[in-house]
Structure 1
């Protein structure tokens, strides 16, 4: 996995997040939910590839997990978006560990949002 490959995947996830917000504000909640799932799949794939590439050198227990926070759909999406932007900074710095950590944190917001969606709380 190269930094360029990671950057492409982050951009795909950010595009899905942007489209999710756009759909949400247009009152198309179903499409917003679909876009959240698409962003999550990109993030999961990137984490998987980075973990393999880095040979499991990163310990997840030092990474903040956001699942317990009670936020609105927009807040979850914006937090994930901010963290993915920070991951892009890591790409520019050629720091794959920073990329991994920020993507992992973004994933926690996206999965928390997905859980709320599945429970019908959104």
Structure 2
């Protein structure tokens, strides 16, 4: 996986999250949900590829995922995921050799996206 591919995956996920926010504001919940799923897909693939490159063997050392019992707002979850992905992109551009930090930020973003997916599936969203 080269530099351009990593950056493209992060940017695709960020674009999907931007579109999810726009759809949410327009109350187009079907489009919002699809954008969340697409962002999740990009994030999962990115984690897989970064995990191989960073040789991440033990996910126990990673930051904890968001507290599922806390009632996060949809917008808050999307924004938190965006923030983590933005930080991962900045880290990646600065220090391509330290992929563990990049992986951790993407992993955190994934936690928020999983929370949103679970709400979508249980019709709480």
Q: Partner of 1:84 in structure 2?
A: 85
TM value normalised by structure 1: 0.92
Cα RMSD between the aligned structures? 1.3
Q: Partner of 1:29 in structure 2?
A: 29
Query: How many aligned positions are there?
Result: 121
Where has structure 1 moved over 4 Å in runs of 4 or more? none
CA deviations 1:59-113 (Å, max 9, x no partner) are 3223221151320111110100000010011111123211110000000000011
Partner Cα distance (1:67, 1:48) in 2: 23
Measure how far apart 1:4 and its partner are: 2.8
Residues 1:60 and 2:59 are matched in the alignment = yes
Measure how far apart 1:7 and its partner are: 1.1
> Which segments of 5 or more consecutive residues in structure 2 lack a partner in the other structure?
none
Partner Cα distance (2:88, 2:103) in 1: 7
TM value normalised by structure 2: 0.90
Partner Cα distance (1:2, 1:66) in 2: 30
CA deviations 1:13-55 (Å, max 9, x no partner) are 0000000000110110110000000000000000011112223
Partner Cα distance (1:77, 1:114) in 2: 11
Please list, as runs of the form range in 1=range in 2, the aligned pairs for 1:105-120 lying within 5 A after superposition. 105-120=108-123
Q: Which moved more, 1:48-57 or 1:68-77?
A: 48-57
> Which segments of 5 or more consecutive residues in structure 1 lack a partner in the other structure?
none
Seen in structure 2, the aligned counterparts of structure 1 residues 97 and 56 have a Cα distance that, compared at 3 Å, is closer
Partner Cα distance (2:104, 2:76) in 1: 20
Equivalent position SS for 1:121: coil
